[in-house]
Amino acid sequence: AIKVAHEREMHVVALTGKGGGPMAALLGPDDVHVCVPAERTARIQEVHLLALHCLCDGIDCLLLGVE
């Protein structure tokens, strides 16, 4: 998916953990990489969920105005 996005000149937002794995190597300088440096999968997922909520809130503010 990352390769296809780059072929279509799209930016990528990647949520990873534990160093990013192979996905991190595919990301370009214009992509956004949210890497949670934790060992426990549950903790990584909790932070990813928080990041997604913040991202959605930011998009809402941009599209609909700040409440």
Distance separating alpha carbons of residues 50 and 32, to the nearest angstrom: 16
Tens-place pLDDT, residues 13-62:
999 999 899 999 999 999 999 999 999 999 999 999 999 999 999 999 99
Q: Where are the beta strands (DSSP E) in the chain?
A: 13-17, 32-36
pLDDT recorded at residue 66:
77
HSE value, Cβ hemisphere, 13 Å, CA-based, for 56? 6
Number of domains comprising the chain = 1
Beta pairing partners, 17: 36
Rounded to two decimals, the pTM is: 0.80
Q: Which residue has the higher pLDDT, 65 or 4?
A: 4
Cβ atoms 26, 11 nearer than 8 A: no
Q: What is the domain extent for residue 13? A: 2-64
Cβ atoms 46, 34 nearer than 8 A: no
pLDDT at 67 over 80: no
